[in-house]
Chains A and B, each alone.
Chain A
Amino acid sequence: MPDLKLTNITKRFDKSVAVDDLSLSIEHGEFVCLLGPSGCGKTTTLRMIAGFETANSGTIELDGMDITRLPPQKRDIGLVFQSYALFPHKTAAENVGFGLKMRKLPRADIDSQVKKALDLVRLGHVAERYPRQMSGGQQQRVALARALAIRPRLLLMDEPLSNLDAKLRDDMREEIRRIQKEVGITAIFVTHDQAEALALADRIAVMSEGRLMQIADPTSIYESPANATVDQFIGQVNALQGSIANVEGHIAHVAIAGGRYISGLDRQIPAGTPVLAMVKHERVFLSRLQPAAGENIFPCQVEGRTYLGASIVYRCNLGDQAMTAAVPNHPAFEQFQPGEAAFLHWASADCRIFRQ
């Protein structure tokens, strides 16, 4: 039985639809990321699960119980906020103990559970400090301990890493995953950062304009996106406009600008249909010598070069069509300068075709 089940949830604000007929099931102990650009409805979804917003229609069930209209203070759901939202006038220990105090636990129980929760996030030594005396990373860990101290049925996190600097963000990411596994709690993590979602999630739910686009494990989301929106949002992608010319077996040929044909995986789209052919930047190969055989080989001109450290990104021109190739920064790969002629090449298996 799923732990959390959203069924046909719709939420409107005035005339705009924030969440549109969303259905989602999350299994016990699962770590799910809600991923999407800002304004896609992911935070509204989280706030409805937490009880701060009420759905216009649809139901939310937690452990088989309908909680759609239950007030937030009765839901037993732990929340971690982007701003940490630690109470500034209370110490770390008082912050962590707040939920237990609200549950009217005896003093001794509160103390021992606060200690346990702070030890879990490895911050036993800051118990008596005020939030202003702690670093951002420490504050976020106290916030996590505070949410977990009430032994919630579900843990919700709203962009909890966005206010941390890059290095700390990676550490906190590991830490959150370790703690979630240790506690064995079902978790939903809202983010607009695809790298975060790919690294953390058991499953990623990609949202766009209030709708659920796809929910799947990170590999499937990245390698087999369900539609062009997901493909464009995850990773860096070349999108070529064209129309289906013909289909041979599993391979569809797409006519693109300049009388060229490219081939990609067939999706049983009839000939003549306008489509988008999508190839991720790192799946495009760039070489000086023309590859001996294969599909999707085009001569091109290197026009721009961006050095990213781990990779080098080349902007190439195929006549009427611009394409980008990301090449690993490694001696085994050729390097190019703007103005050079080269060949672009990619496998049909790496090219997905979607209706426009």
Chain B
Amino acid sequence: MTISHFINDPLTEDSDIRLGVLVSHLRMEEKLILEAGRRRGLAITPIFDRKIVLDLSNLSGTAASSFPYDVVLDRSVAHSRALYSLKSFEAWGIPTLNRSTATQICDDKALCSLALGSANVPTPRTLLAYSIESALEACALLGYPAVLKPVTGSWGRLLAKVNGPDQAKALLEQKVSLGSYQHALFYVQEYQEKPGRDIRVFVVGDRVLAASYRSADHWITNTARGASSSKCPITPQIEDIVLNACQAVGARLAGVDLIETYDGYTVLEVNTGGEFHGLMTTTDVDIAGEIVEEAMRIARASAMRRLETTTAAGD
């Protein structure tokens, strides 16, 4: 494949489209996405993040030619790798489904809370503190129980509900002893009662595709922690809050987590690498297929813009 193909092909045929899928390894979701791409005849290729070398000093087409894709979908589970890869692809002019800014915001709970709060999207009250003393003050301000979360990471890891100051102090001291600076960024959130479940909503483009309840006896209702999924109807209220949340963080593809409170729906987080294996069991919507279709739209739109630019330059 040549650079001239990259610049001038309007990608009229599905088989013209080269979709790269950035992965750490293949989970069920990535296998389904690869299958959906192959069914449509796309040239779809997994890009294993641990195998790539990014030339950060070369912003010309030479660097881009090492990644001959019309569009890249980020499905890496390693947030840092995803961020630097997306930044590089963007610098080289390769379109991506989620932009790096969305990934950067969503992979950092503090930035995500700020973005949601700035856009007036309902989200639990959250405080950030940098020392054990100030974190204890934050817990007291919110009232006990309070929830401590790491600013990075996922799947319900290292989440803790603290019921009083003694427990909070012990936990904060343990977090500091873990060593990395992220563990000394104390993200403290008000604990909100929920009806034994939260809601995972999947968004692709500007459409809400499907939603499921995730139920568990534990206060952490994450499928990675054993929660079970059941169908959740998509109401106009859910649609509004979820699309507003995605707009606030700039996500085009996301799994949004909501909880039902006495005051209405509240957004817990927006995951740009949203998993959908649980959701899939509750819906007939072909989520993987929809993701691929969105990638195709982005590739075509980008190719058309390039073509118009090239044509205008030749006038």
Q: Is A bound to B?
A: no
The residues of A with any CB-CB pair to B shorter than 8 Å are none
